[in-house]
Amino acid sequence: MLSAVEQKRLQVSRGTEAEKKSQFGQFFTPQRTAAFMVNLFPDSTGRCILLDAGAGIGSLSAAFLDRWESGGFHFSQVDLDAFEIDRTLHPHLEQVLEKYQLRKDFTATIRGEDFIQRAVDSLSGYMFSERLPQYTHAILNPPYKKINSDSAYRLALRKVGIETVNLYSAFLALAVALTAPGGQIVAIVPRSFCNGPYYRPFRAFLLECTAIRHIHLFASRDQAFKDDEVLQENIILRLERSGQQQPVIVSTSTDDTFSDLASHEHPFGQIVPPNDPEQIIHIPTSTRANLLELSTALRFTLDQLGIQVSTGPVVDFRQKEHLRKMPGPGTVPLLYPCHFSGSGISWPVESAKKPNAILRNAVTEKWLYPNGFYCVVRRFSSKEEKRRIVASVVDPGLFGEAPVIGFENHINLFHQDKRSLPKALAYGLAVYLNSTVVDEYFRRFSGHTQVNAADLKLIKYPSLLMLTELGEWALQQDRLTQASIDHMVGALGT
């Protein structure tokens, strides 16, 4: 039977227009997820000062207070600060908190202020702003929405040393800054902050100010907020303010039923590899170490190999006047993801909705590459594909006498100083990137179906000789299978 809070969540969520949800970037926490989050907190005593930033209708606060009432916490007093900028939700929030108000050892303050501005004013010592307390506990399901580089939020956050690009990371960073040493923070957030250059300052802040205690990963991207049809890879974090970093518990479940919950403990060095200047946060889902971590042979960066990977330079909507449906006089081949299937390539594709050719002229010349062998990876994998990284080889024989070819922006291509690769090297790279060990390693630090050139640079590679030998082997095969690829790549690491 659904609780009253869960019934209210469903009622309010279904009655809220999609445009308003997008405006606030807020999606209410389902009951089972809220209960799981609350149970990540260790038992505590003394006075609890609880922060719920982006409280919505109070699902997280109610779950926290229910655990307290059932004896899961042993607080002498609980004082709640619930921030919710959408004042139309305040009556629902008040109603949810009403049953706890009868307790003499509980107080609740509902704040309709902008959490970011209020927190920044408090942390920066703004003279006309009352200081917020140091919270002992914080629980968050923050809003998800990009922050423009010139927005008032970015300028405000910089006053307190926080540099980030999304509301969710801003909320989490401010919650950390407002929490007392030893305080506990539990938040459900998108996984996107774990890698990528835009979130590097945020990762540095988080790792400097907190110890990661627990990471929970939902294996299915559409289950954490399925009622709102949110397609996002989410994780739940438990952090300890100013804590001493120890091994980290990583748990997984397919969805919010947690019926297949599995947990493992990992050394912190497997979560954030030592000496990684990017401080990428990996999320291993088994205790088995990945071959790329263990092997001394698979240790080269692309820079060390003299190979570059770039995003295709042809942005079609900007160059419409130069594109042609089919090849003709004055054109050269233009490759889109639709020209690649599996590890093969088909061109031209008459039935394709995308152009097959681009004019070669003084304007387009700078976007074109010499015809030759290239290893390419689509930036977006389809839902049906098991692997995130899908690599193919461009064979120049397919394009006849074409001197140059174009690569559209949804393709990543491996090259050497904008020149083609040796044939065996191109095939070796494709085989290596299509292996299961590379796919598993990639999934540890990236929650995206999108594969960017920056992500491909983070992978460790075999030597040029090994890649070339792998390509020569592939060229001798009548048919490549996943099992044969994995066997050959596995042998490289031994």
- Tokens 């006047």 appear where? 321
CA–CA gap between residue 374 and residue 61 (Å, rounded): 54
- Amino acid found at 304: Q
Q: What does R_g of the chain's alpha carbons equal in angstroms?
A: 26
**DSSP secondary structure string, 388-418?**
S--EEEE-GGGGTT-SEEEEBTTEEEEEBTT
- Whether residue 250 contacts residue 285, with contact meaning beta carbons closer than 8 Å, is answered with yes
Strand duo 331-335 + 340-341: pairing: unpaired
Contacts of 344-348 spanning 24+ positions with Cβ under 8 A: 344/392, 345/392, 345/393, 345/394, 345/395, 345/398, 347/398, 347/399
Residues 218 and 341 reside in one and the same domain: no
Largest CA distance in the chain: 85
Q: Is residue 296 part of a domain?
A: no
pLDDT in tens, the chain (494 residues): 347 666 655 666 565 554 544 544 467 788 999 999 999 999 999 999 999 999 999 999 999 999 999 999 999 999 999 999 999 999 999 999 998 988 999 999 999 999 999 999 999 987 677 899 999 999 999 999 999 888 999 999 999 999 999 999 999 999 999 999 999 999 999 998 998 888 999 999 999 999 999 999 987 655 444 444 444 689 999 999 999 999 999 999 988 889 999 999 999 998 998 888 889 899 887 766 667 766 778 889 999 999 999 999 999 888 899 999 999 999 999 999 999 876 578 999 998 899 999 999 999 999 999 999 999 999 876 544 577 899 999 999 999 899 999 999 999 999 999 999 999 999 999 999 999 999 888 888 776 667 889 889 989 999 999 999 999 999 999 899 999 999 999 898 66
What was the pLDDT predicted at 226?
45
Residues 149 and 245 reside in one and the same domain: yes
DSSP E strands, 242-305: 248-253, 262-266
Number of domains in the chain: 2
Residues 243 and 316 reside in one and the same domain: no
CA dihedral of 306, 310, 314, 318, whole degrees rounded to 10: -140
The candidate with the shortest Cα–Cα distance to 28, out of 146, 168, 142, 171, is 142
Residues 210 and 139 reside in one and the same domain: yes
Q: To 5 degrees, how large is the angle CA 462–CA 468–CA 471?
A: 105
CA–CA gap between residue 176 and residue 139 (Å, rounded): 11
Residues 446 and 329 reside in one and the same domain: yes
Q: 257, 288, 319 — which closes off a domain?
A: 288
Residues 241 and 314 reside in one and the same domain: no
| 40 three-state secondary structure | coil
What was the pLDDT predicted at 367?
95
Sheet holding 404-407, edge to edge: 323-324, 357-359, 331-335, 404-407, 368-370
Q: Is residue 117 part of a domain?
A: yes
Which DSSP helix (H) or strand (E) runs through 222? none
Q: Is residue 280 part of a domain?
A: yes
- Whether residue 375 contacts residue 393, with contact meaning beta carbons closer than 8 Å, is answered with yes
How many C-beta neighbours within 10 Å does residue 267 have? 9
What was the pLDDT predicted at 384?
46
Residues 284 and 377 reside in one and the same domain: no
Q: 244, 261, 288 — which closes off a domain?
A: 288
Omega prior to 355 cis, within 30 of 0: no
Residue 55: exposed, middle, or buried by beta-carbon count in 10 A (0-12, 13-18, 19+)? buried
Residues 377 and 421 reside in one and the same domain: yes
Strand duo 404-407 + 331-335: pairing: parallel
CA–CA gap between residue 266 and residue 249 (Å, rounded): 6
CA–CA gap between residue 22 and residue 30 (Å, rounded): 18
- Amino acid found at 369: Y
Contacts of 379-387 spanning 24+ positions with Cβ under 8 A: 379/311, 379/337, 379/409, 379/410, 379/411, 379/412, 379/450, 379/451, 379/452, 380/337, 380/410, 380/449, 380/450, 380/451, 381/449, 381/451, 386/439, 387/434, 387/436, 387/439
Q: 288, 312, 332 — which closes off a domain?
A: 288
Residues 238 and 318 reside in one and the same domain: no
Here the CATH number for the domain that contains residue 10 is: 3.40.50.150
Structure-block tokens of residue 21:
């949800």
Residues 113 and 244 reside in one and the same domain: yes
Residues 414 and 379 reside in one and the same domain: yes
CA–CA gap between residue 459 and residue 410 (Å, rounded): 20
How many C-beta neighbours within 10 Å does residue 487 have? 11
Strand duo 248-253 + 308-311: pairing: unpaired
According to DSSP, residue 275 is labeled: T
What was the pLDDT predicted at 159?
93
Q: Is residue 297 part of a domain?
A: no
Structural domain including 445 reads: 302-492
CA dihedral of 87, 89, 95, 98, whole degrees rounded to 10: -50
Strand duo 262-266 + 210-218: pairing: unpaired
The pTM of this model reads: 0.79
The candidate with the shortest Cα–Cα distance to 474, out of 344, 358, 379, is 344
Q: Is residue 247 part of a domain?
A: yes
What was the pLDDT predicted at 245?
97
Q: Is residue 127 part of a domain?
A: yes
Here the CATH number for the domain that contains residue 353 is: 3.90.220.20
Residues 284 and 308 reside in one and the same domain: no
Q: Is residue 293 part of a domain?
A: no
